[in-house]
Amino acid sequence: MTLKKQIKQKGFTLVEMAIVLVIFGLVLSALLLPLRAQREQAAQTQTLNTLDNAKQALLGFAQANGRLPCPATAASQGIAAPNASGPCTVQQGFLPAATLGMQPVNSQGFAIDAWNNPIRYAVTQVDNPNGVVAGLPTGYGIRNIPDFTSTNELQDIGISRTNPAPPLNVPALNPDLRVSCGQITTPECVPANLLISNAVAVVYSTGANGALADAEVGADEVANKIATTIFYSRTQTASASVAGEFDDLVTWISPYVLYNAMIQAGQLH
């Protein structure tokens, strides 16, 4: 009688395969999360460098022209609107990269952040109330012409002059852009506490979610896009946060930085 050896074939059962796939998924997720975080950190670093370059370009423009440029509009192809001295078409718009000579830019002429969103820019349109009527002796600027975007206004007023009439004892050059921590009181933010109360310009990126509709982002981010004189800057938070989602990257130019740059260029006394 011949005994036949039965060969037992071994393999993975479905349960074992499922366990292997789960483990593989966990390992892959653990590897991808740091990579995603690294990419996000790189994007933020790139954008912060762009914002810093924008500030330097704005200061260089002021040194050469004695004033700050106006923002660009959606239709101006990255050119300040208007490109000449005087009141701006909008107080907040886009960084006028074409006017500043910044590169690279997108097809619309806008400098962009790492997420391909246009860099935004606001400039103070404050006018010294003690300015004189055009044609009269100078000394406090010309009435009804913005001080910081009009040629000769900054030089005429000077940084040490205060107002002789109401508002008394207020510097004649008195920029009015404000940056606050947030609209909602949190452990980090008390809305009444301003980060700066007299910025001459604000430059910011709308962050990774900048292309989303207003209904899909946080209240502080929406407020930044429609702001005229007050902006918000705080630690980034997710949509589940009490204060809502926030990933804008906001910077600004203080009057003292602007004045120092213009003094060095002989544009201000």
> DSSP labels for 65-86?
HSSPPPPB-TTTTT-BSSSSSS
Within a domain: 50: yes
Query: Three-class SS of residue 50?
Result: helix
Domain range for residue 246? 16-126+175-264
Between the two ends of the chain, the Cα-to-Cα distance in Å is 117
Within a domain: 2: no
All residue ranges of the chain with pLDDT < 50 are 3
Residues in a beta bridge with 123: 201
Within a domain: 156: no
Within a domain: 96: yes
| Domain count within the chain | 1
Q: At 114, phi and psi to the nearest 5?
A: -70, -10
Longest dimension (CA), the chain: 129
* Model confidence, pTM: 0.86
So what's the pLDDT on residue 10? 59
So what's the pLDDT on residue 65? 97
So what's the pLDDT on residue 61? 98
Question: How many CB atoms within 10 Å of residue 68?
Answer: 27
Task: Return the structure tokens found at 66.
Answer: 């004695």
From CA 125, how far away is CA 177, in angstroms rounded?
9
Angle subtended at Cα 75 by Cα 152 and Cα 90, rounded to the nearest 5 degrees: 45
Within a domain: 162: no
Contacts of 201 (CB under 8 A, 6+ apart): 55, 58, 68, 121, 122, 123, 124, 177, 252, 253, 258
Closest CA to 248 of 265, 236, 261, 263: 236
So what's the pLDDT on residue 141? 92
So what's the pLDDT on residue 30? 64
Closest CA to 85 of 37, 137, 149, 133: 149
Within a domain: 198: yes
Contacts of 174 (CB under 8 A, 6+ apart): 126, 128, 198
Asked if 175 and 148 touch (Cβ cutoff 8 Å), the reply is yes
